[in-house]
Amino acid sequence: MLKVLDSVDRDTGRASISDFIVDVRSSPADVSADWPRGGDADTPARCHAFQTVTFIETWQATYGQAHGSKLCLVEVRDAAGRPLLMLPLQISPLEGGLVLGFTDMGVSDYNAPVLFPTAVTWTRQSATALWRAITARLPPFDIARLDKMPEHVGGLVNPLYLLTDRANPESCHLANLDQPWSEVEQHIQGAKNLRNRFRALDRLGGCRLLVAETADERQLILAALLEQKQRRFEETHVPGFDAHPEKRDFFTLGTERFAAIGALHLSALMVKDEVIAALWGVTQGRHYYGLFITFEAGEWTKYSPGRVLHHQLLQHLAERGYWCLDLGIGDEPWKLAACDVTVPLRQATILATLRGRFILTERTIKERLSATRFWQKLRPYKWVVLRGLRRSLQRAALPR
């Protein structure tokens, strides 16, 4: 049953708004030096890659612009001015109102604040006061949806997790690499078979793991990755880059931006000079995040190139001291078979206005409709028709 926080003001607790100094910036260029840029773990801040300045800049230039979003980059300090947390939020005109959420829209796996070690003991009461202090400084919004939130970030308690009202539908999954390789492989279903398939690919003329180090290598892998992913979108009858170009633009722009700070990890499984599988990832310290995996179909399917790439990359990262390969959000069977750690997530829906309640009601009706068997059967055909119509219009627009 869906629970909704009409307001968190009823639960005031011991902490009060005056305990927090809140500043809200509208551009990543204006945030303080305390906000981590990304890649380097040599900072007191604890965060995932999805809350770094580089990620936010890339998100705003792609997803944010596509959806008319207004950034609300929140910095919270204690009464002495010491940083407590940084929170990347945005307000978008969606569903007939203004919706507050994280800088996400499907591209982030973990949503949480950037946290700093502090003497504050986070409880539901102090977290409630924190949220009141933050929303008092935000522009107006109708409803807040805070989803995909972990309980801890870098060993520190996530205060927003304490405001959650239900579990997130999906969890995150990662492979623990902070152990001997022989133990890592024990958790991978079919590891021996994956080694055999790599050897079979190698007999075709040479198979290797390529980790991009140059601009040419990055463009080679990126072009193959985007082509493979779009083809997969079309094969599975779901909206792809043609319907949502901001998805393609994020990875295109992000490739060079994350590479510039040493946080990009773009890899491919190569047979001769052909990319048969690719994985777009970023790093934050010794934490590797795999955001986007693709693979060739057809004659390559029997070799399971995506799973072989993942297996090769696991060993590559383990040899270089990474402590995990994080496949992120999603409960797909192959992730469960490849990972030994599950990170449960939670979410909260917070109403701010009467319009927010209307938005929630409409959203609930749509979610129930989309869960019906009839809608599940009908949905793929919708994208076949729309994609065909878009291509017809593009051909009609060509000069004759």
Same domain, 181 and 320: yes
Same domain, 95 and 142: yes
Tokens of 201: 């690919």
Indicate the pairing of strand 324-329 with strand 287-295: parallel
CA dist 185 and 133 (Å) reads: 47
Q: Is residue 270 part of a domain?
A: yes
Same domain, 153 and 186: no
Tokens of 235: 């094969």
Q: Does the pLDDT at position 1 exceed 60? A: no
Q: Does the pLDDT at position 382 exceed 80? A: no
Residues of the domain holding 126: 17-169+345-352
Query: Mean pLDDT in the chain?
Result: 90
Q: Which amino acid is at 295?
A: F
pLDDT digits (tens, 9 = 90+) for 213-240: 999 999 999 999 999 999 999 998 888 9
The confidence score (pLDDT) of residue 208 equals: 97
The confidence score (pLDDT) of residue 3 equals: 43
Q: How many domains does one find in the chain?
A: 2
Rg from Cα positions in the chain:
22
pLDDT digits (tens, 9 = 90+) for 66-102: 999 999 999 999 999 999 999 999 999 999 999 999 9
Q: Which amino acid is at 61?
A: A
Please, what is the end-to-end C-alpha distance for the chain in angstroms?
58
Same domain, 187 and 147: no
Q: Does the pLDDT at position 385 exceed 70? A: no
Q: Is residue 237 part of a domain?
A: yes
Buried b / exposed e along 278-307 (16+ C-beta atoms within 10 A)? bbbbbbbbebbbbbbbbbbeeebeebbbbb
Indicate the pairing of strand 97-102 with strand 143-149: parallel
pLDDT digits (tens, 9 = 90+) for 118-175: 888 899 999 999 999 999 999 999 999 999 999 999 999 999 999 999 999 999 999 9
For the chain, give the percent of residues with pLDDT over 70. Answer: 88
Same domain, 93 and 147: yes
**Do residues 381 and 388 make contact, with C-beta atoms less than 8 angstroms apart?**
no
Tokens of 195: 């080694």
The confidence score (pLDDT) of residue 179 equals: 95
Q: Does the pLDDT at position 11 exceed 70? A: no
CATH number for position 101: 3.40.630
**Do residues 86 and 34 make contact, with C-beta atoms less than 8 angstroms apart?**
yes
pTM of the full structure: 0.88
Same domain, 160 and 189: no
Q: Does the pLDDT at position 304 exceed 70? A: yes
In this structure, what are the phi and psi dihedrals at residue 52, rounded to the nearest 5 degrees?
A: -80, 160
pLDDT digits (tens, 9 = 90+) for 311-342: 999 999 999 999 999 999 999 999 999 999 99
CA dist 47 and 49 (Å) reads: 7
CA dist 382 and 392 (Å) reads: 16
The beta-carbon contacts of 41-44 under 8 Å, at least 24 apart in sequence, are 41/284, 41/285, 41/286, 44/116, 44/117
pLDDT digits (tens, 9 = 90+) for 243-276: 999 999 999 999 999 999 999 999 999 999 999 9
CATH number for position 216: 3.40.630.30
| HEC secondary structure over 346-380 | EEEEEECCHHHHHHHHHHHHHHHHHCCHHHHHHHH
**Do residues 324 and 287 make contact, with C-beta atoms less than 8 angstroms apart?**
yes
Q: % helix / strand / coil in the chain, to the nearest 5?
A: 40, 25, 35
Tokens of 180: 């001997």
The confidence score (pLDDT) of residue 386 equals: 53
Chain centroid to Cα 293, Å, comes to 13
**What does each C-alpha distance from 291 to 72, 121, 282, 283 come to in angstroms?**
24, 33, 8, 11
Q: Does the pLDDT at position 397 exceed 60? A: no
